[in-house]
Structure 1
Amino acid sequence: SCPFSKCFQSLWKCSKEVCLVRQDLIQHINSGDYGWKADNYSQFWGMTVEEGFKKRLGTFPPSHSLLNMREAPGKSLPEEKFPAFFAATYAWPDWIHDPLDQRNCGASWAFSTASVAADRIAIHSEGQITDNLSAQNLISCDTRNQHGCNGGSIDGAWRYLKTHGVVSYACYPSFWNDHLGPSGENHCYVSSEYGKNYTNGPCPNALEESNRLYRCAPHYRVPSKEADIMKEIMDKGPVQAIMKVYEDFFLYKEGIYRHSQRAGSKWKTHSVKLLG
């Protein structure tokens, strides 16, 4: 039996690559006692596991400097002090931004950073500033040791937000460069100078007038204890997390995810926004 076949010059050839969507794995998870359910997603049809890892994730493992960063000081709360349920979307309903589709662009480093930053700015400004921020601005312009849709680091993204700032999503929408063809895909279409609050030119999206730049204070690390993360989210809003993704995570539908052994031991890192 051939796990995966590809068409080479009108001939089908067997390939050792494993498909991202495997019906046997979906059935195994759904009939087992894993605490979560799997589903079959058509957008992953025809993709190999390697392609899923490469195109759908895109955050480098945390660097030594990130792992050794001093944790933000704060008073811990005993677990019984927390409500049974808390979600940032309920606490700040108009200020939390929906996730954007990163498509087949391995740049979760940019999407998760922009989304957490936008939420934090809205909460901190008490709703004065509610613009979603441009992940594309990071992907196209934050190129120092970053690799756009081929992955990047979250600490680099936060540094860029602090020094350069980014425009709103409306000003520089995701995948705006795509219509320009291969020559324009990796080009940065906003330029800014250190300390300036506006870009040097108009928005790439001509329908948006505001070319304002949004910046963040230096990033910090939240202690790894669950109670400390919970307190941080309740007090200040969503946080960013790096997680290991195994191939079965691409099948996740609902429940509390845990890795099923049958899915193999290969994993890559991904970054996400934690809401509650």
Structure 2
Amino acid sequence: MNLLITALSLFVIGLAHGSDELYYIEPLSDMMIHHINEKLNTTWTAGRTKFYDWSMVSIKRQLGVPLDHINQVTADLPIVNHLVDRDIPDEFDSRQAWPDCPTIKEVRDQGNCGSCWAISAVEAMSDRICVATQGKLNRHLSTEDLLSCCKTCGFGCNGGYPAAAWEYFKRSGVCTGGNYKSNEGCKPYSIEDCEHHGSGQRPPCQGESKTPKCTKECSNSDYTVAYDNDKSRGQSVYSVKSEQQIQLELMKNGPVQTAFTVYEDFLSYTSGVYQHKKGNQLGGHAVKLIGWGVEDGVKYWLLANSWNYDWGLEGMFKVLRGKDECGIERNVVAGSINPV
């Protein structure tokens, strides 16, 4: 009884003093939106997002990096330290730095599959092929090939490991493949885009998609290059750890992959520079980091998600920079490219 009275007293004190730590707010609720926008002194705006029509089970399935792995993403990788041989600008956007590389601008859709670990990996790999060849070679690498054929990468649509994806790219290579129904490349993505709003034209993002079966041949019958001849490969796999080193890596070699912990408040992100303020951990998520900047005096990283263009900032989002927010800076994975 005394413990109950103490707990109730702390709750009342918390309300009186405006504390946001002593009581739980349901995610995907108007109360969460109001709390973030009106009660907290933060750098981002909450609103009703596509996730407000989803079940929590389906949302968690989108988070394809196992939470127990999120702090070990780069544990076994060598760390690259670049010579600081140039000035680092206040703002940098890979889309503007390499305008002849169309994959940098792209936002993919993982559908009902926890394939973020594969999508963000092949996105960065594709970008780096273009950057390494100064825009002369554009290859849209296949999520499908990496997702289905890398048996050491994890569990396919049930999640995987970003560093292992780059090791597979170095060891076995990845073929080309466009998005769902694109009929582009050797292995287009076979998991259909799903709808992020209840009244849209795509099927709802509920339930589960099975991991596609690995095949050692092209699934696109119109594609004329043999599967083995269509592969691109990496030369090295590494991590970069500090804010400055990540910036230098981006300027020198192009976008990188990273992973971070997703909390319940992230589901309400609509704009601004995200930093975790409220809610419990939901899972780990992998994305592509393409640049940085400053907004209203707040430093941020610019990242591409894999939830289509109707989420966040047309598929992009910003995260607080320089504070390792949600692990965003400790989990950077990249590699050099063998474009031949």
Q: Which residue of 1 aligns with 2:233?
A: 215
The answer as to 2:214 corresponding to 1:188 is yes
For residues 113-151 of structure 1, the C-alpha deviation after alignment (integer angstroms, 9 at most, x for no partner) is 100000001111222221211111111111235211100
Q: Partner letter of residue 59 of structure 1?
A: V
Q: Which residue of 1 aligns with 2:327?
A: none
Q: Which residue of 2 aligns with 1:35?
A: 43
Q: 201, 204, 220: which one pairs with 1:205?
A: 220
TM-score (normalised: structure 1): 0.78
* In 1: Cα distance, 2:209 partner to 2:34 partner: 44
The answer as to 2:164 corresponding to 1:164 is no
SS at match of 2:139: coil
For residues 164-195 of structure 1, the C-alpha deviation after alignment (integer angstroms, 9 at most, x for no partner) is 111112221122599xxx99853113x1xxxx
Asked if the contact 2:111–2:191 (Cα under 8 Å) also holds between the matched residues in 1, the reply is no
Q: Which residue of 2 aligns with 1:120?
A: 128
Asked if the contact 2:77–2:237 (Cα under 8 Å) also holds between the matched residues in 1, the reply is no
Asked if the contact 1:20–1:45 (Cα under 8 Å) also holds between the matched residues in 2, the reply is no
Asked if the contact 2:113–2:209 (Cα under 8 Å) also holds between the matched residues in 1, the reply is no
Q: Using a 3 Å threshold, how does the CA distance of structure 1 residues 183 and 266 change in structure 2: closer, same or farther? A: closer
Asked if the contact 1:20–1:52 (Cα under 8 Å) also holds between the matched residues in 2, the reply is no
The answer as to 2:138 corresponding to 1:153 is no
Q: 1:44 Cα shift?
A: 4.4
Q: 1:25 Cα shift?
A: 0.7
Q: Which residue of 1 aligns with 2:201?
A: none
Q: Which residue of 2 aligns with 1:251?
A: 268
SS at match of 1:254: strand
* In 1: Cα distance, 2:73 partner to 2:210 partner: 33
Asked if the contact 1:20–1:44 (Cα under 8 Å) also holds between the matched residues in 2, the reply is no
Q: Which residue of 2 aligns with 1:274?
A: 289
Q: Which residue of 2 aligns with 1:13?
A: none
The answer as to 2:74 corresponding to 1:66 is yes
Q: Using a 3 Å threshold, how does the CA distance of structure 1 residues 94 and 268 change in structure 2: closer, same or farther? A: same
Q: Using a 3 Å threshold, how does the CA distance of structure 1 residues 141 and 267 change in structure 2: closer, same or farther? A: same
* In 2: Cα distance, 1:166 partner to 1:250 partner: 32
The answer as to 2:53 corresponding to 1:45 is yes
Identity of aligned residues (%): 32
The answer as to 2:63 corresponding to 1:57 is yes
Q: Which residue of 2 aligns with 1:83?
A: 89
Asked if the contact 2:70–2:261 (Cα under 8 Å) also holds between the matched residues in 1, the reply is no
Q: Using a 3 Å threshold, how does the CA distance of structure 1 residues 92 and 58 change in structure 2: closer, same or farther? A: same
Tell which deviates more after alignment, 122-131 or 59-68. Answer: 59-68
| Aligned Cα root-mean-square deviation (Å) | 2.6
Asked if the contact 1:102–1:111 (Cα under 8 Å) also holds between the matched residues in 2, the reply is yes
SS at match of 1:249: helix
SS at match of 2:74: helix
* In 2: Cα distance, 1:95 partner to 1:159 partner: 24
The count of corresponding residues between Structure 1 and Structure 2 is: 238
Instruction: For structure 2, list consecutive stretches of 5 or more residues without a partner in the other structure.
Output: 1-24, 178-183, 194-207, 292-340
The answer as to 2:113 corresponding to 1:105 is yes
Q: 1:34 Cα shift?
A: 1.3
Q: Which residue of 2 aligns with 1:131?
A: 139
SS at match of 2:92: coil
SS at match of 2:118: helix
Q: Using a 3 Å threshold, how does the CA distance of structure 1 residues 183 and 65 change in structure 2: closer, same or farther? A: closer
SS at match of 1:275: strand
The answer as to 2:247 corresponding to 1:230 is yes
Q: Partner letter of residue 252 of structure 1?
A: Y
TM-score (normalised: structure 2): 0.64
Q: Using a 3 Å threshold, how does the CA distance of structure 1 residues 148 and 36 change in structure 2: closer, same or farther? A: same
Q: Using a 3 Å threshold, how does the CA distance of structure 1 residues 144 and 259 change in structure 2: closer, same or farther? A: same
Instruction: For structure 1, list consecutive stretches of 5 or more residues without a partner in the other structure.
Output: 1-17, 192-200
* In 1: Cα distance, 2:246 partner to 2:136 partner: 26
Q: 1:272 Cα shift?
A: 1.1
Ranges of 4+ aligned residues in structure 1 off by more than 4 Å: 62-65, 182-185
For residues 82-139 of structure 1, the C-alpha deviation after alignment (integer angstroms, 9 at most, x for no partner) is 2221100000012152121112211111011100000001111222221211111111
Q: Using a 3 Å threshold, how does the CA distance of structure 1 residues 103 and 39 change in structure 2: closer, same or farther? A: farther
Q: Partner letter of residue 266 of structure 2?
A: F
Q: 88, 91, 94: which one pairs with 2:100?
A: 94
